[in-house]
């Protein structure tokens, strides 16, 4: 026990941070140097990084003079203006998964129980976002701008959570800095034109992180915080089935990377109920969510994700969606008397056969999946090609910002390493590592790293808010020096 509470947590923390830095290096290698355009984006990313380092600390500290309330108001209005202008100027028709979300949201707004809900039974996470969006369709009508304005508002709410987290960890200037980066993020701005679940589950993720950051500092209301975090994670799971990544990160941080407080009575009385109630609330609300879902779609939802594993290990398509695997799943689903659960179980059996077939080059597959998941940040441009001009320029813009943020995130991890920081900030690299590892087992797509971006922006703040970058103090010292 003494060893565990002594050097081991610090060692485990450094191993985790080393793995995270290696992941960032691998991402840059696979993405930034695959062709001339991404190499150019990496070069520009270095310039963008220099601009961020020079401008953001100064601008953030100047805005901080206004105080937290006025700074937040100005940033939120700016966020709504920037994101709102894009959705009004760029009108992209809904297609692919976006059309599916939009169609089901309209049906759920009109029907208490769907006439045919097999698709949602096979993919229960589709219900989460579609059901959420259906409430706004009831209120504001069926125009596609409803979904887009919902995204914009969710973006502002996410920015507000980033502001609160940044303020708590790095002061008011840190909260301002991370909110400004969120406003400037080009891919996030472009995704707002689609009916997609990423803005919603990212907001839920940031809400949980805000609770944990507040709990770490305030040490109050463990029962309330635990129950609220558990319910939020259940909603997160209902929109995107990756909430387990957050739960595992929380347990690893609290019990392995920073267990010292559990050795004290006060720490045990606070953190054990908080973590325990988070897990309990998450587990107890699972059957309630499934019962609600079944009542709305007319049949029991599948609890297995066999199809996602089947696609994830399709070597010929690098773990991405393909028509063949989709047809196979629906052939299982269309068998007489088959349920959604049985179809997913058969897909899992097919996935096991594929994995053990001996025909997969696993290192090559993982390399391609990493490249497709994390290598670039311009998938939003490809989805907008129907109406967007200057594709190359927008791709360059998205990737330039992305590579700059990847470098800042890696540098932030180095700062945490050097400080031996084992606070709740470690949840950020833990989440990124966990999500990346999970995606290596299942289907991948470029937009699936959407929720990683705000975590990287937060990780950038130990660098940007470093006293070494407080240019006002540096200039004042120069003037005062003889």
2 pLDDT above the threshold of 50: no
- Residue 3 has what pLDDT? 45
Q: Report how far residue 168's alpha carbon sits from residue 422's, in angstroms, rounded to the nearest whole number.
A: 15
In a 3-state reduction of DSSP, which class is residue 383?
helix
209 pLDDT above the threshold of 60: yes
| pLDDT band at residue 475 using 50, 70 and 90 as cut-offs | low
Higher pLDDT, 408 or 265: 408
Q: Report how far residue 239's alpha carbon sits from residue 236's, in angstroms, rounded to the nearest whole number.
A: 5
Q: Is residue 322 left, alpha or beta, with left meaning phi > 0 and alpha meaning psi from -120 to 50?
A: beta
HSE-CB of 280 using CA atoms within 13 angstroms: 11
Q: From the centroid of its chain, how far is CA 51?
A: 25
Phi, then psi, of 255 in degrees rounded to 5: -105, -20
pTM assigned to the model: 0.95
Give the closest residue to 343 by CA, choosing from 196, 35, 124.
124
The Cα angle at residue 207 between residues 206 and 212, in degrees rounded to 5: 95
- Residue 268 has what pLDDT? 86
Percent of the chain with pLDDT over 90: 81
Which tokens is 14 given?
Answer: 């450094």
- Residue 473 has what pLDDT? 64
How crowded is residue 206: how many other Cβ atoms within 10 Å of its Cβ?
24
352 pLDDT above the threshold of 60: yes
Read off the pLDDT of residues 418-464 as tens digits, 9 standing for 90 and up: 999 899 999 999 999 999 999 999 999 999 999 999 999 999 999 99
Q: Report how far residue 158's alpha carbon sits from residue 154's, in angstroms, rounded to the nearest whole number.
A: 6
| Average pLDDT of the residues of the chain | 92
Read off the pLDDT of residues 6-21 as tens digits, 9 standing for 90 and up: 688 999 999 999 999 9
36 pLDDT above the threshold of 90: no
Question: Which letter, b or e, does each residue of 149-188 get, where b requires 16 or more Cβ atoms within 10 Å of its Cβ?
Answer: bbbbbbbbbbbbbbbbbbbbbbbbbbbbbbbbbbbbbbbb
Q: Report how far residue 347's alpha carbon sits from residue 391's, in angstroms, rounded to the nearest whole number.
A: 37
417 pLDDT above the threshold of 60: yes
Q: Report how far residue 435's alpha carbon sits from residue 32's, in angstroms, rounded to the nearest whole number.
A: 21
- Residue 478 has what pLDDT? 59
What are the helix (H) ranges across 254-390? 265-297, 306-312, 323-333, 340-355, 362-374, 379-383
The Cα angle at residue 205 between residues 203 and 206, in degrees rounded to 5: 65
481 pLDDT above the threshold of 80: no
Mean pLDDT computed over 120-149: 94
Which tokens is 455 given?
Answer: 């975590």
| pLDDT band at residue 476 using 50, 70 and 90 as cut-offs | low
Read off the pLDDT of residues 299-337 as tens digits, 9 standing for 90 and up: 999 998 999 999 999 999 999 999 999 999 999 999 999
Q: Report how far residue 451's alpha carbon sits from residue 201's, in angstroms, rounded to the nearest whole number.
A: 8
Domain ranges of the chain: 7-480
- Residue 265 has what pLDDT? 81
Read off the pLDDT of residues 381-391 as tens digits, 9 standing for 90 and up: 988 887 888 88
Give the closest residue to 455 by CA, choosing from 230, 217, 126, 210.
210
Q: How far is CA 1 from CA 12, 266, 296, 376, in A?
A: 15, 18, 50, 44
Q: From the centroid of its chain, how far is CA 68?
A: 26
Mean pLDDT computed over 63-69: 96
Mean pLDDT computed over 466-473: 68
Mean pLDDT computed over 354-362: 93
First to last CA, the chain: 55
| pLDDT band at residue 1 using 50, 70 and 90 as cut-offs | very low
- Residue 471 has what pLDDT? 57
Read off the pLDDT of residues 78-96 as tens digits, 9 standing for 90 and up: 999 999 999 999 988 888 8
Higher pLDDT, 6 or 257: 257
- Residue 261 has what pLDDT? 81
482 pLDDT above the threshold of 60: no
């Amino acid at each position: 026990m003494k060893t565990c509470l002594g050097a081991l947590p610090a060692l485990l923390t450094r191993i985790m941070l080393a793995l995270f830095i290696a992941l960032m290096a691998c991402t840059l290698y696979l993405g930034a140097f695959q062709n001339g355009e991404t190499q150019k984006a990496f070069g520009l990313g270095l310039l963008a990084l220099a601009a961020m380092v020079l401008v953001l600390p100064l601008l953030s500290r100047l805005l901080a003079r206004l105080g937290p309330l006025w700074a937040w108001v100005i940033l939120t209005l700016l966020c709504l203006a920037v994101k709102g202008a894009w959705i009004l100027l760029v009108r992209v028709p809904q297609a692919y998964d976006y059309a599916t979300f939009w169609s089901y949201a309209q049906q759920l707004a009109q029907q208490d129980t769907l006439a045919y809900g097999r698709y949602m039974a096979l993919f229960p996470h589709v219900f989460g976002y579609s059901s959420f969006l259906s409430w706004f369709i009831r209120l504001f009508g069926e125009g596609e701008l409803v979904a887009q304005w919902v995204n914009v508002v969710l973006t502002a709410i996410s920015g507000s959570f980033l502001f609160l987290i940044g303020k708590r960890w790095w002061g008011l200037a840190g909260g301002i800095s991370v909110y400004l980066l969120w406003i400037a993020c080009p891919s996030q701005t472009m995704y707002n034109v689609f009916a997609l679940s990423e803005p919603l589950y990212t907001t839920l993720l940031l809400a949980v992180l805000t609770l944990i950051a507040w709990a770490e500092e305030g040490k109050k209301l463990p029962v309330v915080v635990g129950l609220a975090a558990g319910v939020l994670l259940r909603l997160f799971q209902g929109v995107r089935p990756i909430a387990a990544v957050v739960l595992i990160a929380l347990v690893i941080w609290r019990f392995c990377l920073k267990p010292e407080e559990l050795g004290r009575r006060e720490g045990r009385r606070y953190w054990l109920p908080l973590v325990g109630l988070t897990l309990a609330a998450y587990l107890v609300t699972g059957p309630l969510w499934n019962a609600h879902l079944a009542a709305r779609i007319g049949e029991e939802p599948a609890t297995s994700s066999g199809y996602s594993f089947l696609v994830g290990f399709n070597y010929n398509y690098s773990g991405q969606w393909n028509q063949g695997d989709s047809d196979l799943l629906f052939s299982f689903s269309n068998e007489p008397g088959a349920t959604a659960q049985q179809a997913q179980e058969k897909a899992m059996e097919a996935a096991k056969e594929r994995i053990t077939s001996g025909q997969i080059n696993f290192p090559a597959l993982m390399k391609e999946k990493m490249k497709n998941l994390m290598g670039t940040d311009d998938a939003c441009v490809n989805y907008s090609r129907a109406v967007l001009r200057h594709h190359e320029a927008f791709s360059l813009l998205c990737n330039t910002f992305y590579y700059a943020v990847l470098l800042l995130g890696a540098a932030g991890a180095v700062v945490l390493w050097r400080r031996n920081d084992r606070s709740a900030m470690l949840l950020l690299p833990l989440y990124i590592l966990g999500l990346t590892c999970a995606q290596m087992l299942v289907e991948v797509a470029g937009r699936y790293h959407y929720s990683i971006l705000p975590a990287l922006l937060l990780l950038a703040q130990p660098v940007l808010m470093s006293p070494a970058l407080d240019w006002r103090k540096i200039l004042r010292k120069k003037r005062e020096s003889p």
